[in-house]
Structure 1
Amino acid sequence: MGELEKIPVGIIGASGYGGIQLVRILLEHPNVDIVYLGGSGSVGKPYGDLYPHLAHCVNLSIEPIDIDLITSRCRVVFLGLPNGLACELVPQLLRKGCKVLDLSADYRFRNLGTYSAWYNKDRTDHETAIQSVYGLPELYQEEIKSTSLVGCPGCYPTASLMALSPLLKQGLILPETAIIDAKSGTSGGGRQAKTPLLLAEAEGSFMAYEVASHRHTPEIEQICSDLAGYEVKVQFTPHLLPMVRGILVTVYASLRDPGLVRDDILTIYSAFYRSFPFVKILPHGVYPQTKWAWGTNLCYIGVETDPHTDRVIVMSAIDNLVKGQAGQAVQCLNLMMGWDQTLGLPRLCFYP
């Protein structure tokens, strides 16, 4: 039997943190070949000049974003662009036969009015948007397998929804009581220079930001509403941690049945995620740490109940750049291509 022909893949927006994670993962993926790296501000520069630690294994340069060029080479295209740019390119890529995985927010929303209200951009690509599948495999695995366009989730929504989904799907909580307390490392803010992300600002400090106004709120609410079967609103508060990688989300919610105990919830979570190899449900009394997930596509989940308040407390830890971004996109690619969803994805962390 001959060697499997590799799928030619391109990355538009390859110079950011999402782009570099995609390059790292796809270089070690047995079924793909990176044939195009695209961008704007660094056109013409060898990728090894942008990331010298990869100069020995990436011999491509950043090329202009040219649809004809991209579609002549690539069967699959990842987009790691700022919000509002992917929607200008995706309809053309799809028409020319490419499968597309968008890491921005442009194709996460079914209602483009919601997108426009939160991202301040009018949209006319409604026919394209309705083709998109939300790229959380643990919820939409079958839909991802049959689509050509995936809107990959944000890092905060990924960690939040992994914690909340079994509770909402099984009707275990009063959804209006859900509070999401989320904390992220500084890489979640991207590679651009931003004052709050400077070492001198972030080191030794800890802060909340965009309280009651973060753009990931409607994304989380959209999926929560799907799971609950009616419109759900959540309280979501993000915080910045003085570290580079990782997200820890702690969800609090009131139980419908105060008689449920921790072991009941653990049994439900284990059953809900039993077919998903990247989700690790921790035994009672063990709570997740962000370092465990560094560099992996894993999500660690810990569960506790509080009989004093009749609340459930669920903790979820991921690497924001992998399961929260590039790794999850590759997991979706695997499903779209009919491959094992774990193919080429890291499951051993950088530790300590």
Structure 2
Amino acid sequence: MSKKIAILGASGYTGAELVRLIATHPGMEIVALSGERKAGMAMGDVFPHLRHLGLPDLVKIEEIDFSGVDLAFCALPHATSQEVIKALPRDLKIVDLSADFRLRDPAEYEKWYGKPHAAVELQKEAVYGLTEFYREAIREARLVAGTGCNAAAGQYAIRPLIEAGVIDLDDIILDLKNGVSGAGRSLKENLLHAELSGGTYPYSAGGKHRHLGEFDQEFSALAGRPVMVQFTPHLAPFNRGILASAYVKGDPEAVYKALADRYASETFLEVLPFAAMPSTRSVAGSNFVHIGVSGDRIPGRALVVVALDNLCKGSSGQALQNANLMLGMDESEGLMLAPVFP
């Protein structure tokens, strides 16, 4: 019997991506879709690529009857999720795609997001949703907090290296190139075609990006001492994808072995042959992650490059992977679609 699924915030990119993935999932049925500004509209009118699916119309959240829903995905804006989730039934399983429950320390949340957390008790309950590293906790969780897409890409590069003790923890540089869909669907002047096409630029530079809170939390917990990385994301004129380049101090062969060993049994993470480099093109539209490692002309330094799709493995695909675990299903259900190429 299929599990009944609600998607809150289905009129955004991550909500639409959830619909696309769940449409071919053998064990899930979408029974409710919310979209505050698009309430009353058919999903196929909001996203024509989903027109062939028999989907419920978009409604406001308060119109949804959650009594028959097994799990809800919350693809809502930051700060909205905590208020909405606080009012949902306590027996409802929830995967939140916003930043509202990623940081365990309320003071850290206020530092990075500029306001006190409005659901501190739920924040304590939430499990961090980086599936490959929190799998067993996610399986037992009621509330899972999806990671930031940049945070996921950076952690796939660095976490195994901290675990294996093969890099200098005080010399980590992360440089990311992000597709424009990561900025969401809202109208913004800097995202107009004439403003973005043909160029690229850094944003939230100088240690201001909010995903640094996740890096600080996760890397420091792994290392058992504070770890601070230098991190700069860049907005690039392609639709989907993240290419994360991590510059680390350590033996390249040891770095490669740590990553290859850690991900050897992971379905969605593939470490390429040594010195082969990944491309966002090769993972577009999929839940797969490609990782490349090379040495440098400077001895004792290594480059780790991670490519993933920000809307899929960086957000909605990761959310579905976690939901599968929470509902007792095979982790890869609905997620084995091959990347779209070219």
Same fold flag (TM > 0.5):
yes
Compute the displacement of 1:92 (Å).
Answer: 2.8
Provide the rounded CA distance (Å) in 2 between the counterparts of 1:194 and 1:130.
Answer: 34
Say whether 1:72 aligns with 2:72. no
- Choose which of 134, 137, 151 in structure 2 pairs with 1:140: 134
TM-score for the superposition, normalised by structure 1: 0.94
Alpha carbons of structure 1 residues 55 and 274: separation in structure 2 relative to 1, 3 Å? same
Q: In 2, are the aligned partners of 1:180 and 1:234 still within 8 Å (CA)? A: yes
- Give the match for residue 172 of structure 1: 166
Pairs within 5 Å for 1:165-314: 165-212=159-206, 213-255=208-250, 260-262=251-253, 264-306=254-296, 308-314=298-304
Deviations 1:269-289 (A, max 9, x none): 121112211000000121000
Provide the rounded CA distance (Å) in 2 between the counterparts of 1:42 and 1:315.
Answer: 39
Compute the displacement of 1:347 (Å).
Answer: 4.0
Counterpart of 2:221 in structure 1: which amino acid? Answer: D
Compute the displacement of 1:29 (Å).
Answer: 0.6
2:122 alignment partner, SS class:
helix
Provide the rounded CA distance (Å) in 1 between the counterparts of 2:181 and 2:310.
Answer: 8
- Give the match for residue 49 of structure 1: 45
Counterpart of 1:204 in structure 2: which amino acid? Answer: G
- Give the match for residue 93 of structure 2: 99
Q: In 1, are the aligned partners of 2:82 and 2:118 still within 8 Å (CA)? A: no
Q: In 1, are the aligned partners of 2:6 and 2:33 still within 8 Å (CA)? A: yes
Provide the rounded CA distance (Å) in 2 between the counterparts of 1:278 and 1:223.
Answer: 21
- Give the match for residue 85 of structure 2: 90
Deviations 1:138-170 (A, max 9, x none): 111111111011000011001100001111111
2:340 alignment partner, SS class:
coil
Say whether 1:38 aligns with 2:48. no
Compute the displacement of 1:174 (Å).
Answer: 1.5
Alpha carbons of structure 1 residues 59 and 344: separation in structure 2 relative to 1, 3 Å? closer
Counterpart of 1:236 in structure 2: which amino acid? Answer: F
Provide the rounded CA distance (Å) in 2 between the counterparts of 1:128 and 1:59.
Answer: 31
Provide the rounded CA distance (Å) in 2 between the counterparts of 1:104 and 1:328.
Answer: 13
Q: In 2, are the aligned partners of 1:247 and 1:319 still within 8 Å (CA)? A: yes
- Give the match for residue 156 of structure 2: 162
Compute the displacement of 1:21 (Å).
Answer: 0.1
Counterpart of 1:22 in structure 2: which amino acid? Answer: L
Compute the displacement of 1:133 (Å).
Answer: 0.6
Alpha carbons of structure 1 residues 337 and 59: separation in structure 2 relative to 1, 3 Å? closer
Provide the rounded CA distance (Å) in 2 between the counterparts of 1:53 and 1:179.
Answer: 38
Identity of aligned residues (%): 39
Say whether 1:23 aligns with 2:19. yes
Provide the rounded CA distance (Å) in 2 between the counterparts of 1:7 and 1:98.
Answer: 12
Deviations 1:57-79 (A, max 9, x none): 13311111117x34223110000
Compute the displacement of 1:91 (Å).
Answer: 2.7
Provide the rounded CA distance (Å) in 1 between the counterparts of 2:223 and 2:337.
Answer: 31
1:175 alignment partner, SS class:
coil
- Give the match for residue 318 of structure 2: 328
Compute the displacement of 1:94 (Å).
Answer: 4.8
Provide the rounded CA distance (Å) in 1 between the counterparts of 2:143 and 2:16.
Answer: 21
Q: In 2, are the aligned partners of 1:94 and 1:148 still within 8 Å (CA)? A: no
Deviations 1:2-23 (A, max 9, x none): xxx0000000000000000000
- Give the match for residue 7 of structure 2: 11
Range 330-339 or range 178-187, more displaced: 330-339
Counterpart of 2:62 in structure 1: which amino acid? Answer: D
Compute the displacement of 1:309 (Å).
Answer: 4.2
Provide the rounded CA distance (Å) in 2 between the counterparts of 1:35 and 1:16.
Answer: 18
Alpha carbons of structure 1 residues 300 and 134: separation in structure 2 relative to 1, 3 Å? same
RMSD: 1.4
> What is the total number of aligned residue pairs between the two structures?
341
2:88 alignment partner, SS class:
helix
Provide the rounded CA distance (Å) in 2 between the counterparts of 1:120 and 1:308.
Answer: 41
